[in-house]
Amino acid sequence: MKKFFSVLSVIFLLLGLVSIGVPGLSETEEGVRLVCLNIGKADCMLLLYQDEAYLIDAGYAHTYPALQTALAQLGVARLNGVFLTHCHEDHAGGLFPLAQSDVPVGAWYAARIYFGPTALQHPAVLAAAQRNESVVWLDAGNVIPVGTDGSFTVLGPLTLNEDNENNNSLVMRFSSPQGSILLAGDMKEDEEYGLLAAGLLSPCDLLKAGHHGDNKATSKALLNAVMPKAAVILTSTLEEPDTPASSTLKRLYGIGCQVYVSQDYHDALLFTLKGGQVTFQDVQWQGVPERPSGVGLAIDVDRDTLTIINRGSAELSLSGCCVYSTKGNELISLPDVLVVPGGAYTIGSDASDAPVDMTAQSKRIWSKKKLDIAILYDAYGRPVACTNNGLAE
């Protein structure tokens, strides 16, 4: 079965054309464009329609350079609106550097229903406050007009879920004469069933699958209701081995849906909806180098070190790169050094008892008790290598 899915993935990859440079907002042809950034297991999307641009989630703070690059490449000088689907950092972190940038934002949107932070600590509130602005709180049934004939309709959340913030995701349907998109955030089965029971889900052309293709999302009942022609899953198997789940892929392929997983492509995935049809392009930004290849990572838990190994044939520049620890939520900025082919660079902490090239200002980096994942990001906010500490979750 896994071999079957792999073959299908290759077929869809071959169907996607690599685009060197994408028409800017002012050059937009008739149609809806959804640009999904390939930044690992994190959500960051731009919806472009007519002369308007909207951001749906902003990824991590340390992946913001990828969003910055996308805005520049697409010629987006102003965002008409920024939507935060829920409070998790892989969706909300990039709001803060965005708020500190000079990109004008017409409105900051978030669901009125959420769980976790206090009202003053909500990520959207904190981001908007940096500009002395306020959040527009959204409820099911709210409609945000886009252009002359498009709109976002808020479908959920309908009720507060105190067990899992993913099930408080802002779920929206974008509609226009050119096509429709269901934007599911990190919605899982509990929220899906609530929307289905309320009769709020209807057929769409493109689905942004919920919760990175997790096996407890994108249920058969949801797919029977929305019957998308194409679906996009934003994830990295290296970061989250259970995604995309084979069961989720099986359900999507079972309805004849074309499936695109972000990790299989270059810098971004571009979907264009026109006349009810969905076309796809694999985007590599113009003038931006490809991600470094042949990079390996190795964690030594006992010595609390991470070694970056250059297995490629060219020098590896660490300038502007950073390493992220998922368990400790710790970010380590790397110095401007070059690692020669076959060479290595080791990062340690105050707990390290081995020779290192760099000591991070941390008592300890890698967990000795629970699963911890190390991700190396390049200067453009793109993940280039990943490993873990070898412990069970």
The tens place of each residue's pLDDT in the chain, 393 residues long, gives 333 333 344 333 334 445 556 665 555 567 999 999 999 999 999 999 999 999 999 999 999 999 999 999 999 999 999 999 999 999 999 999 999 999 999 999 999 999 999 999 999 999 999 999 999 999 999 999 999 999 999 999 999 999 999 999 999 999 999 999 999 999 999 999 999 999 999 999 999 999 999 999 999 999 999 999 999 999 999 899 999 999 999 999 999 999 999 999 999 999 999 999 999 999 999 999 999 999 999 999 999 999 999 999 999 999 999 999 998 889 999 999 999 999 999 999 999 999 999 999 999 999 999 999 999 999 999 999 999 999 887
What's the fold here for domain 2-284? Metallo-beta-lactamase; Chain A (3.60.15)
Q: For residue 42, which of 241, 236, 206, 216 has the smallest C-alpha distance?
A: 236
- CATH 3.60.15.10, the chain: domain bounds: 2-284
pTM for this structure? 0.92
Fold type of domain 295-388: Immunoglobulin-like (2.60.40)
| Ranges in the chain annotated CATH 2.60.40.1260 | 295-388
